[in-house]
Structure 1
């Protein structure tokens, strides 16, 4: 399985590398990104700490629009780790024209509080931009995919197996609206349907403070229709972070 995942990763990366090499020679490239950071610390009768960090990068290389995302969440209460999640994702969109494109995406997530050591998802398919007028953006994607999950040691012993995998139908909906020149609302839905339905929703409101610095309020909901025993089907995360665009 590790060889299969490595082969898939190399295959996904090949078109990006080839196109990148060609476009770097031509000098036709753009690059932008956003970095977020949020933290809470309390001491005294209650000792708690929580950290949220996120780095998103976007790159245009000829007909390719590439996006890279890194996220990390860590929370500790009275010396005990109560939340930990790490996420890495990459997506490449090959534009056929201004509205239609082919996407290739892969992500890797570590969240030990779900009963799994990690989860990896890959998908490729068709995307369409319904609205893209500078103020409002709406796009949708659909295609086949594959999900692979590694159970932790406790769950492996209890269930008698250590991995779960299935072919899935992958769908995504991405919406953003510029409320004013200094504020913006974004909504993202992602779903993978195979042996179960797994989805992720992120609603966020961003308001500029000064220059490239902004404040972001986000609500993230994760859903699994068939969680492991003793685990809930829905996780929610609400956070306030500082965002710097570059």
Structure 2
């Protein structure tokens, strides 16, 4: 845990150290966000239901840009033969701060928390800092690339800790992000975000989404999420997927 605290300190200091000699551009305060809520219900040989909630926010002030994310997913599956029920909850919280030198170059620092005991890990913490570059931009489309060093810490569940003989895993990682967004019509937007942390193993997350406006600030969003663990714990799968349809409100 001391290593994690050290990495968090590095991510906090990194953007400030990069400011030496940089000119600050005054700008108006802007704050925007998106709130999502959706659910599914199926019946037949098995009955299942799920609820997905997500809140993302962005705050801009001059050269600074802060991004916040809160997300929760609940699943319940009931076998129609024996009535047995399995439940699973997962949570994610994240923060990233960017300092933009100009329209294309910026430095970043971030921290993320993810909890899903079904993977055998009670929670996963990552922290990283580095350099970002807007590789492509038009009026409707942009492509951002980010790279930098980071740190990964995973706390095993009590059951897995007893089996593995260790309570946690950690490693220094190389952190990379590809973030693409394109407005494909006046009422629809396509997004693709890929995040990878590579150290003792590769952890990756991909989210593909299509958002279509319904009326005013209300929209429908269809998303597909893939989480990949190169070295999953015994008895666990390396890949988890989510397919979500949610209502989105922009503010």
* TM-score (norm. length: structure 1): 0.89
2:160 is the counterpart of 1:171: no
Q: Distance in 2 between matches of 1:222 and 1:123?
A: 19
| More relative contact order, 1 or 2 (CA 8 Å, 6+ apart) | 2
Unaligned 5+ segments in structure 1 are 17-25
Match of 1:82 among 87, 93, 97: 87
Deviation at 1:119, TM superposition (A): 0.4
2:214 is the counterpart of 1:206: no
Which deviations, in whole Å up to 9, do the C-alpha atoms of 1:151-194 show, x marking residues without a partner? 00111111111000000000000001111000111000000000
Deviation at 1:234, TM superposition (A): 0.6
Q: Distance in 2 between matches of 1:12 and 1:31?
A: 23
Instruction: Give the corresponding residue for 2:157.
Output: 152
Q: SS of 1:155's equivalent?
A: helix
Q: Distance in 2 between matches of 1:42 and 1:128?
A: 43
Deviation at 1:28, TM superposition (A): 3.2
Change (3 A) 1:233 1:134: same
2:111 is the counterpart of 1:106: yes
Q: SS of 1:98's equivalent?
A: coil
* TM-score (norm. length: structure 2): 0.87
Deviation at 1:132, TM superposition (A): 2.7
> Aligned-residue CA RMSD in angstroms?
2.4
Instruction: Give the corresponding residue for 2:18.
Output: none
**Equivalent residues, number:** 238
Instruction: Give the corresponding residue for 1:187.
Output: 192
Instruction: Give the corresponding residue for 2:237.
Output: 232
Deviation at 1:131, TM superposition (A): 2.0
- The 8 Å contact of residues 181 and 192 in structure 2, kept in 1 or not, is answered as yes
Unaligned 5+ segments in structure 2 are 16-25, 79-83
Match of 1:220 among 219, 225, 228: 225
Change (3 A) 1:141 1:27: closer
Q: SS of 1:156's equivalent?
A: helix
Deviation at 1:6, TM superposition (A): 5.4
Instruction: Give the corresponding residue for 2:58.
Output: 58
- The 8 Å contact of residues 11 and 129 in structure 2, kept in 1 or not, is answered as no
